[in-house]
Structure 1
């Protein structure tokens, strides 16, 4: 299904700016959760660094939301991807081995300013995001199972399976909790008939390809019975019955039709210069989804919000050598004492590879490089680029390699910059498919789109001087995650959505810092006009932060609360006070 285009957005952009009360640097900030009993925010720092694992950090706000203070930290062996606190106060963090992607969930109690380990349970490969049920009896993990370094080569076992783990929590002994790992076991045709995108080097002749291709990214739990799980690279969503412990459905999220909606597809035009393109759609590919209940078609329904970031299936962009200057280099397993760099071969893990800044010295051969070029070098495969073995991304200019491009939009072909899905472009119809919806959409419980923001997030970013033109050819503002919150009760309830725009920054700042998180009100999801369904009401703006990764809203009363924003690049945790009066 595709959202109908054919119009230009005319939505009003609010000039209301909300600044943070405080910005804390806990050593990294990717995801956050909140314990109301202790007034503590728990933050994870992410990747394994400096021979230490990722961290879970406790930030105490008992003296006020503008007085956050780091009071405890706990190092874990591996990359940490998420943290959640149950309604019973149990802290859980997802962690995985960066080489094998083997995953587990670590449990903690927070007592007297200290994080105390309660042990761990094994889950699927590369657990990404966690969600507790409302009563804290179950914990669901989206186990992404991303490809390893040699994905697309002839090395075996480079694509661990994606899965969804359901943990029945034993609160007295969390390490004894039961784990049920769900895999995608149906034949390829089932998923493809339901609109799921599957594309990879192992697909040919593999009727159970879905088991390794589907990549769960994010979990949204509705009540205590159902979980919705985003399958980002597959442009799809899975539904899980938590009581039965089964995946009950998987459906695609369709392609956004850009007909009549202007957007910018080149990073070479020195700014935001949108125009209408013909025959262009894009795969939504959401990351951090959220859910809420409202009336649709006269009855209460659960709707889910899709931040349409876009994310391709490529070999991991790990590199082991960057050229400091243009020239001819050589590499080999021989050391002369004149090498400029060395590292253990990432494939055989035995031999050391040495790099020389001149030709003919290294025993394995020569290669040319420009300043700043990055390479992944092994003895077996030689000097490779970061996407040498596999990529499903292709630039518009490179479509000529596949044949006639006369049916495609001439402006995009002339620019040659737009990044598209290699498996989705159609030279006969001229349909060109990009990555990500450059905004957010709201879907009903069957996956159908009931609202799409069109180019609104890009217009907001441009209006504020935060548009990332360097990403115009890629995925634009890249909405990373969303957070639903509400004010009021029952008939007077007002619904809001905050959208974290990962790639935006203050164009006037010499350090390219600055974070914006637009807030929208769902006014009338049943309105005939798309622009009357949702409106922009305010924007959170932090001048010293960069790259929002996680959002969390905490209600303090029926008409006020606080938003936490974790910023991956600046490694900061921002807090904002928000009241209904602020949002009109």
Structure 2
């Protein structure tokens, strides 16, 4: 009898230990995958230019919702039960709500879509659909030209970055804004603009912030581009691409608390060498007396030891309108003879002559010639401290190098923004935090180990469709294959590609 009791107690202890092990903070078991071994397993083509710009995956239905503006404005629905053999099973028309659909996001069986007005300068729409049957749950007005939408991680808020671009003749320049939609409060909308921070303009500009449109209005000139949200759903960071800054948002109080100017990149420093000409018969990176304006598009956050690290894809984007165009080539402008004593040589096509620069910066003494030259974008991705906006890492010219080594570099883009990093997303694969950087002009995605966010390590380069725009990762526990999936959607050819890593 004694031995039976002893055995029963031992079995009970083992069972309790197993229960505790499986119930550790509700964590999913770690899938052992090698993040340096992504390979393509499937692809689907849903259209031409304007198709497959942004995608969002719903694990509850194994459906991928994809922006498609190639012919009619709609959201295509793709069955992803088998990523090797994907099929389009339906679509959601957005024509009843306005014009182009710019972005989609999914949370808890809800699909949020950012839709611009037929009149781009008018208020846009945020529409929420049920992912199971596509019926409308809500449709609310947001700011002008909602360009990106995301759910907060807890699903309680939806945020849109409302770019507020002007019309062609710059007679109507809407206020740039961020809309916060409360899901639990019947989709109540709070739209924030930057008017209350206008008194900081001169100080911000001294640190690299740009206010330069013909409207000469602080709030109207700011153009929010992309949003990322902290894991606790309390803070958001928004790229202000044309303005070369990141804004910080307190979601609970619905206030814009800070603007962080990003400054400029020095292409005359070791490691920052770039190729500046599309007429030099190849990729020849050199040091140049030029500055780069970071001007990030996509942004993602990784929180480590209490610090939010912001990862940005430093694309650059020029204002080009009928009434205002900021770009010109260096060969077409006057260079200050003191700053550039060898101007005649530098302005040759095979030297600096072909490089596009902004004419809104660099004529420091306003005498008609340029003492400093500023090109758009930084040909890199960067990491910034989300608490103060300080830069803690920049990839320098590594993206150019890796793309060149792979044979993907397009020298025809050297005079503009090179590989043009545009998309970025972050995820965890096993015990490794990973960043994926999409490069629009290289048709490729770079994969980085970011366990140490101030010293990312390059892992591999993946070839994508033409002009990758949407970069998203599906966690193994949410994936139909129970393996991590990387989904890359490309706006120039409508191709969506799916990649997965090898299991260790």
| TMscore range, shorter length | 0.7 to 0.9
Partner of 1:373: none
Note closer, same or farther for the CA distance 1:495–1:181 as it changes in structure 2 (3 Å cut): same
| 37-46 or 224-233: bigger deviation | 37-46
Note closer, same or farther for the CA distance 1:414–1:71 as it changes in structure 2 (3 Å cut): same
Note closer, same or farther for the CA distance 1:267–1:539 as it changes in structure 2 (3 Å cut): same
2:103 to 59, 79, 82: 82
Partner of 1:104: 125
Deviations 1:163-219 (A, max 9, x none): 000001148xxxx5210111111364413413321101122xxxxx11110000000
1:484 & 1:538 partners in 2: Cα distance?
A: 15
Partner of 2:241: 232
1:187 & 1:118 partners in 2: Cα distance?
A: 35
1:304 to 310, 326, 339: 310
3-state SS, counterpart of residue 333 of structure 2: helix
Asked if the contact 2:37–2:502 (Cα under 8 Å) also holds between the matched residues in 1, the reply is no
1:314 & 1:578 partners in 2: Cα distance?
A: 41
Partner of 2:12: none
Q: How does 1:471-490 map to 2 (within 5 A)?
A: 471-488=413-430
Partner of 1:252: 261
Note closer, same or farther for the CA distance 1:263–1:98 as it changes in structure 2 (3 Å cut): farther
2:338 & 2:211 partners in 1: Cα distance?
A: 27
2:247 & 2:492 partners in 1: Cα distance?
A: 30
Partner of 2:222: 214
Note closer, same or farther for the CA distance 1:577–1:525 as it changes in structure 2 (3 Å cut): closer
2:176 to 162, 167, 173: 162
Note closer, same or farther for the CA distance 1:82–1:525 as it changes in structure 2 (3 Å cut): closer
Deviations 1:473-517 (A, max 9, x none): 1111000111111223xxxx322111000011xxxxxxxxxx311
1:55 to 74, 92, 99: 74
3-state SS, counterpart of residue 115 of structure 1: coil
Asked if 1:128 corresponds to 2:147, the answer is: yes
Asked if the contact 1:192–1:198 (Cα under 8 Å) also holds between the matched residues in 2, the reply is no
Asked if the contact 1:20–1:574 (Cα under 8 Å) also holds between the matched residues in 2, the reply is yes
Asked if the contact 2:314–2:382 (Cα under 8 Å) also holds between the matched residues in 1, the reply is yes
3-state SS, counterpart of residue 196 of structure 2: coil
Q: Which runs of 4+ in 1 moved over 6 A?
A: none
Structure 2 residue runs without a partner (length 5+): 1-35
1:144 & 1:276 partners in 2: Cα distance?
A: 34
Partner of 1:117: 136
Asked if 1:540 corresponds to 2:462, the answer is: yes
More helix by share: 2
Asked if 1:314 corresponds to 2:314, the answer is: no
2:281 & 2:117 partners in 1: Cα distance?
A: 41
Asked if the contact 2:54–2:67 (Cα under 8 Å) also holds between the matched residues in 1, the reply is yes
2:426 & 2:58 partners in 1: Cα distance?
A: 18
Asked if the contact 1:141–1:164 (Cα under 8 Å) also holds between the matched residues in 2, the reply is yes
2:451 & 2:105 partners in 1: Cα distance?
A: 30
Partner of 2:18: none
Count of matched residue pairs: 443
Partner of 2:46: 26
Deviations 1:94-130 (A, max 9, x none): 101243333001111122xx42223410000000111
Partner of 1:384: none
TM normalised by structure 1 equals 0.72
1:556 to 468, 476, 487: 476
1:427 & 1:179 partners in 2: Cα distance?
A: 43
Q: CA deviation at 1:523?
A: 5.0
Q: CA deviation at 1:17?
A: 7.2
3-state SS, counterpart of residue 166 of structure 2: coil
1:498 to 396, 413, 436: 436
Partner of 1:198: 211
Asked if 1:438 corresponds to 2:379, the answer is: yes
1:131 & 1:477 partners in 2: Cα distance?
A: 26
Asked if the contact 1:221–1:291 (Cα under 8 Å) also holds between the matched residues in 2, the reply is yes
Deviations 1:114-165 (A, max 9, x none): 42223410000000111111121110100001111212xxxx3x21111000
Asked if the contact 1:19–1:541 (Cα under 8 Å) also holds between the matched residues in 2, the reply is no
1:479 & 1:70 partners in 2: Cα distance?
A: 29
Asked if 1:92 corresponds to 2:112, the answer is: yes
TM normalised by structure 2 equals 0.83
1:21 & 1:288 partners in 2: Cα distance?
A: 25
Partner of 1:517: 445
Partner of 1:7: none
Note closer, same or farther for the CA distance 1:524–1:168 as it changes in structure 2 (3 Å cut): closer
Asked if the contact 1:441–1:449 (Cα under 8 Å) also holds between the matched residues in 2, the reply is yes
3-state SS, counterpart of residue 570 of structure 1: coil
Asked if the contact 1:17–1:539 (Cα under 8 Å) also holds between the matched residues in 2, the reply is no
